[in-house]
Amino acid sequence: MKPAKFDYYAPSSLDEALDKLAELGYDGKVLAGGQSLVAAMNFRMARPTALVDLNNVPELSYIKPTEDGGLAIGTMTRVFTVENNAEVAKRFPLLVEVAKYIAHPQIRRRGTFGGAIAHADPAGQLPSIAVLMNMKALIRRKGEERWVDGQDLIIGPFMTVIEPDEMLAELVLNAWPARTGYKYVQVSRQSGGYAQSAVASIVTLDENDKCKDVRMVLMSVGEVPILSQKAGEILIGNTPTREVIAEVAEVVTSEEIDPATDLHATADYRRSITRVLAVRSLTEAFERAK
Amino acid sequence: MTTGKYFGKSVLRLEDKNMLTGNVKYMDDIEIPGQLHAAFLRSDYAHARILKIDVSEALKRPGVVAIYTAEDFGDFWKPGPLLVPPPTAIDGSQFNARTLVPIAKDKIRYSGEVLAVVIAESRYIAEDAFDDIIIDVDPLPAVVDLEKAWEDTSVLVHDDLPSNMAALVKQEVGSYEEAKKKADVVVSRRMLIEHVAGAAMENRGFIASWDDQNQVMTIWANTQSPLTIRGSVARALNLAESQVHVITPFIGGGFGPKVMTSLSDDVLLPWISLKLKRPIKWMEDRRENFLATTSERDQVHHCEIVLKKDGTILGFKDVFYHNTGAYDSYGMTVPLNTQTHTISNYRVPNFYSEIRMVFTNQMVVTPVRGAGRSEGVFAMERMLDFAAKELGISPVEIRLKNLLKAEELPLNTGVIGQDFVVNILDSGDYLGNYQKCLAEIDYDKFRKEIQPKARAEGKRMGIGMVAFTEGTAVGPYEGCKITVSTSGKVTMATGYSTQGQAHYTVFAQIIADQLNVKIEDVRVVTGDTNLFAWGAGTFASRGAALVGAAAYLAAQKVRAKIFSTASKKLEVPEEEIELCEGSVCVKGQPETSIPLGMLASLANPMRGVVEPGVEPGLEATAYYGPPHGSTGSGAMGVIVSIDEETNKPTIERMVMVDDCGTVINPLVVEGQLQGGISMGIGNTLYERLVYDENGQLLTASFMDYLMPLATDMPEKLEIIHNHAESSLKVNPLGIKGVGEAGAIPPGPAIVQAIEDAFGVAGFEILETNLSPSQIYEYLKKAAK
Amino acid sequence: MSEKLFPITVTVNGEEYHREVEARLLLSDFLRHDLGLLGTHVGCEHGICGACTIIFDGEPIRSCLIFAVQANGHDIRTVESLGTPENLHPLQQSFHEKHALQCGFCTPGFLMTLVPYLEEHPNPSREEIREAIDGNICRCTGYEKIVEAVQDAAEKLSQKK
């Protein structure tokens, strides 16, 4: 289990990194925290021709407030830094809640926020949260930049719209309106392990305690994170009673997800726990929104 | 001898301080100047005919020194030895020996089998060379399912055999069929015992270094069997055993699989080192450990129990399929252990057991902590649960009725075991263990208060109460040599290798007491064949009992020699001499003494005359071989709660009562039991090796093979030592083994508790490994 | 692909090392085989077992999931930086007294995870300790005595202050 050879570049600025990616084209691959990539390389399941290491680009690591009360997070910010950042805890406590479930502390110390999202592991928490929060992804290429909505970023398992000569540079998290609640829940066989199903919700109540907005994402029950459409159709404008929430859970699990059977869970079991998790997630999110 | 300054005390381990500071050498820490690195190209196919292997391109790669395929080994290539003899001690047994080949020739028989050995300047380069090796094979259907494999219509693993039968062994005590005729109740079930890995944290490794000037092969291996390797390497290379020196470094856990030898590394690398005249190093990686290091369990049991209406067992029948993998070099240790442990600690007057050992397209199966015992105990315990349900009595009642009482022992069970000796349950209080466990966990309170309250709150909580035995300390023998140095330090050398069991400390405890020296002055050397070259190996929970007894016997011999030598030097009768700490002195006159180191010098005079019959030095060797093994026993109670919606179990409380005889070091015994328990919990709730229908291992990493973690352990774990004083002590110190005990009862205890938590009719767990998803599927079945 | 060697300067346990490394050389292999610091152990090489945990710029990370070339200019601490056999670190002393190690192979990874942990969490509960060590696998002990040792060390360390 030793990695194959590769060419290695360690640019010290963003421009230099983009130059290198442009030069390498399809041969280049960004090395962020490496907590998934290096493991895959050790198995020789990943064999990049060239790595462009972003760990020496300090300008990609930051958490800064945006004008409208949100946060911009540089792609190389360590997950552990995000998890322990006071501004994140204040504005987006969901991220703190989720982070605890991501692998183990030693992995989060090194793994990066942007790297985890760009890796688009269908069992990864952060890609799902990027979809859920519809984080705005800043994708850079030499001399160019474009913004992609989080919900359009991921196109398949381990696949995103990011091209080989591009990099995910920043994620912008828009401020939540008042009376917004959230909850991430998952079932995994062990702490730090892959979830057999996970559900995260962000909900907003109006002044009459009716649901004003709801976003719910379902993870590990399809090839990509699934953003529920039905949740909004059923809930918005209604009081989120136990019955309504149960109805959402029922409809979502029977119509929107497509779980598979693997070593750790059957499709049926996944469906059954997803229903439970949807209820738990929504119930707590509405509770918190009050 | 059950008391002493050190014996029986929780002495802190002598080996710890160096281990804690990174100051000991494990396998991969051994580096030999001039060494080359080996990497094994392994087959992706489980079953295939080899058409062509072309290494010519790979040889051109810079840094690659040599590449060998089966053809290159010429006459040296041959199937390995049968490491454990066939069970001829059992009448009518059939055994087809097909022993492991070191590298595939003509046919591939398991995924992970070696196809080529690459020798290169670094492991990185050796792995690079795999890319350039062209493999052309004709794939064959894989033999994976044990019961289908047994059928005459199955594809054959070994074409020269009429079937995939590796062995057929039947043992009967009394007459099961007669008992069945008299029975009120007959209960039968089919159960799966799933496949698990030893998964020591340190992978295997091997270094062979041929010294052409001295004509000596030095080998470093993190093996449980250094002496087996010495013998087999000498035999294979036509060397005297004195020309092969095997050294075991510190070993990062064994748990069974490191007992296996005659693998690709220990067969091929010495030959390559001899040929290239360079040291060759191989360090297994985790993927290889999953694919090609031996593993265990994997049985299918067809059990039947017959009873009287009042719950008395009349007979038990078990026909079970046992996966031996593609070869059966390690004989039948595991299924024979299953056979002896199926009776476990119950009164079973009529017993029929049939082993159907099957060849499959998988790596060889050899013992893993628990080693067949776990399977037998699981089968019996589960059947008792099902019988109790059928009879409408509690699982506790049926056990209390049938557990053997202290006065019924020793009991000759009539079943021949892994040591080819009739199994004798020598001593213990099986019923007492169980009753103690019931009291400790407060079974009645759980039934009357805790469980009803939990149910009323809509919570699922259940209790499991099981009993077990652990056959330990089997022969043939072990030994050691104890030498008092002229510095006064004492060295004990044994061929037994050590993997973390505290041998450096517990053997020193025995010796320090006998010789009245400071424990720090006793140095234990394990597994260096130049220092001690007799013994069988580390397996079957036998180190403390056998090597411990040998240490005691050798220390007594040295002690006698100290007295006889001192008597002459001090010119006083032996009766007037005693051991003071580190010296020998005249009773009542501590000032008239000789330090042990000086006495050792005096016992080795450089001039003068040594009397006939007197051996020089303060040194003695002793061996100990028991007439039969000694059986540890115990009981386990477990309380489990289960998330009502996700079916995820949590172990709230676990109580284990264990009787492993006399305890040398309570702290170490507790550690052994806790470690075993974690493995038992892992086997039950997390760990599982899964092969698909093509014989591909789907769980070849820690991402898929789930190891038990700290948060998976019981919220509360209590261990109670319940040593039954018994008239019969197999061993001079009364020691029984304890290494595997912890791994045996968690399986049946946890599944019983899970069933109890649901209390749903028809909800029956028929396998050893259980994910929340499987619980869900079982419940679905029960609802139908 | 090039056979290029990269010159690196790494501070390990307070000592500065200058070496040339191939880009693909894992930091775990570099520490062990290039620098001869054998206390860091390798158990899985895919980041799960935790045996190779080291402290990198003050933070516990897996040395099997980072290349040696990436350590250029960084500060590393391995188990060799803690106590000596004659003078154990309080955490090592607690591991000894509580019998928190058997084969000892996973132990350096536990220690290097726990030393910074105890600095940040001087009074952890049993539950918190279990969570803190969930990224480290021990096959021998069943973790029970490791948890006891950490509690003991926390007490020892807080008395020291």
pLDDT tens digits, one per residue of A42-59: 999 999 999 999 999 999
- How far apart CA B358 and CA B331 sit, in angstroms, is 12
Q: Which tens digits make up the pLDDT trace of B75-108? A: 999 999 999 998 898 999 999 999 999 999 999 9
Asked whether the beta carbons of residue B20 and residue C107 sit closer than 8 angstroms, the reply is yes
Closest CA to B712 of B683, B757, B681: B681
Quote the DSSP letter at residue B241.
G
Angle (CA) B199 B202 B208, round 5°: 120
Which class would CATH give C5-81? alpha beta
**Which pLDDT value is given to residue B726?**
61
Chain C closest-CA separation from residue B715 CA (Å):
9
Angle (CA) C50 B700 B78, round 5°: 120
Domain B16-24+475-624 maps to which CATH number in 3.30.70.100, 3.30.365.10, 2.60.40.10, 3.40.190.10? 3.30.365.10
Q: Is C98 exposed, middle or buried (CB count within 10 Å of its CB: 0-12, 13-18, 19+)?
A: buried
The CA-based dihedral angle spanning residues B678, B547, B567, B522, taken in that order and rounded to the nearest 10 degrees: -50
Phi, psi of B25 (to 5 degrees): -105, 120
Domain C90-160 has CATH 3.90.1150.10: no
Chain A closest-CA separation from residue C60 CA (Å):
5
Asked whether the beta carbons of residue C37 and residue B22 sit closer than 8 angstroms, the reply is yes
Closest CA to B395 of B416, B380, B408: B380
Is B637:B465 a contact under the CB 8 Å cutoff? yes
B593 bridge partner residues = B585
* The residue count for chain A: 290
Chain A closest-CA separation from residue B205 CA (Å):
14
**Which pLDDT value is given to residue B613?**
85
**Annotated domain spans of chain A:** 62-135+147-162, 180-289
Interface of B with C in 316-345 (CB under 8 A): none
Mutate which: C6, C46, C129, vs A, most A CBs within 10 A = C46
**Which pLDDT value is given to residue C2?**
62
B719 bridge partner residues = B656
Q: Give the count of beta carbons closer than 10 Å to the beta carbon of residue B33.
A: 6
**Which pLDDT value is given to residue B731?**
86
- Of C42, C101, C134, Cβ closest to residue B710: C134
**Helical spans, DSSP H, in B245-319:** 264-276, 286-292
Question: Which positions in chain B have a beta carbon within 8 angstroms of at least one beta carbon in chain A?
Answer: 123-124, 127-128, 131, 285-287, 645-648, 685-686, 688, 690, 698-699, 701, 703-704, 706, 709, 711-712, 771-773, 776-777, 780
**Which pLDDT value is given to residue B685?**
98
Listed in order, the ranges of chain C carrying CATH 3.10.20.30 are 5-81
Point out the residues of chain B with pLDDT beneath 50.
Answer: 727
- How far apart CA B680 and CA A191 sit, in angstroms, is 19
**CA-based nearest residue in chain A for residue C63:** A106
Q: Give the count of beta carbons closer than 10 Å to the beta carbon of residue A182.
A: 24
The helix or strand, by DSSP H or E, that contains position B764, with its residue range, turns out to be: none
- How far apart CA A136 and CA A150 sit, in angstroms, is 6
Cβ within 8 Å of residue B613, ≥6 positions away:
none
Q: Give the count of beta carbons closer than 10 Å to the beta carbon of residue B676.
A: 28
Quote the DSSP letter at residue B575.
G
Tell the residue number behind the tokens 């259980």, with chain if given.
B770
- How far apart CA B567 and CA B586 sit, in angstroms, is 9
**Which pLDDT value is given to residue C159?**
87
**Which pLDDT value is given to residue A171?**
98
**Which pLDDT value is given to residue A83?**
97
Is B748:B766 a contact under the CB 8 Å cutoff? no
Is A212:A240 a contact under the CB 8 Å cutoff? no
Asked whether the beta carbons of residue C45 and residue A1 sit closer than 8 angstroms, the reply is yes
Asked whether the beta carbons of residue C24 and residue A80 sit closer than 8 angstroms, the reply is no
Listed in order, the ranges of chain C carrying CATH 1.10.150.120 are 90-160
Cβ within 8 Å of residue B533, ≥6 positions away:
B227, B230, B241, B495
Which class would CATH give A62-135+147-162? alpha beta
Question: Which positions in chain C have a beta carbon within 8 angstroms of at least one beta carbon in chain A?
Answer: 1-4, 6, 22-24, 26, 29, 45-47, 50, 53, 56, 59-62, 64-67, 69-70, 72, 113, 117, 131-132, 134-135
The helix or strand, by DSSP H or E, that contains position A31, with its residue range, turns out to be: strand A28-31
Tell the residue number behind the tokens 């791994």, with chain if given.
B743
The helix or strand, by DSSP H or E, that contains position B763, with its residue range, turns out to be: none
Closest CA to B193 of B27, B377, B33, B361: B377
Q: Which tens digits make up the pLDDT trace of B384-438? A: 999 999 999 999 999 999 999 999 999 999 999 999 999 999 999 999 999 999 9
Closest CA to A265 of A256, A283, A277, A249: A277
Cβ within 8 Å of residue B346, ≥6 positions away:
B313, B380, B384, B399, B402, B403, B404, B467
With beta carbons under 8 A apart, name residues in chain B contacting A191. Answer: 709, 711
Mutate which: C31, C44, C148, vs B, most B CBs within 10 A = C44
Instruction: Please tell me whether the peptide bond between B410 and the residue prior to it is cis, using omega within 30 degrees of 0.
Output: yes
Could you tell me which CATH number the domain at A180-289 has?
3.30.390.50
Point out the residues of chain C with pLDDT beneath 50.
Answer: none
Q: Give the count of beta carbons closer than 10 Å to the beta carbon of residue B711.
A: 16
C24 inside 8 A of chain B by CB: yes
Domains A62-135+147-162 and A180-289 fall in the same CATH topology: no
- How far apart CA A219 and CA A197 sit, in angstroms, is 6
Chain B closest-CA separation from residue A180 CA (Å):
27
B358 bridge partner residues = B165, B323
Q: Long-range contact list for B563-572, CB < 8 A, 24+ apart?
A: B565/B599, B565/B602, B565/B603, B565/B618, B566/B594, B566/B599, B569/B594, B569/B599, B569/B602, B570/B594
Domain B296-474+627-783 has CATH 3.30.365.10: yes
Asked whether the beta carbons of residue A266 and residue B776 sit closer than 8 angstroms, the reply is yes
Closest CA to B600 of B590, B621, B615: B615
**CA-based nearest residue in chain A for residue B131:** A4
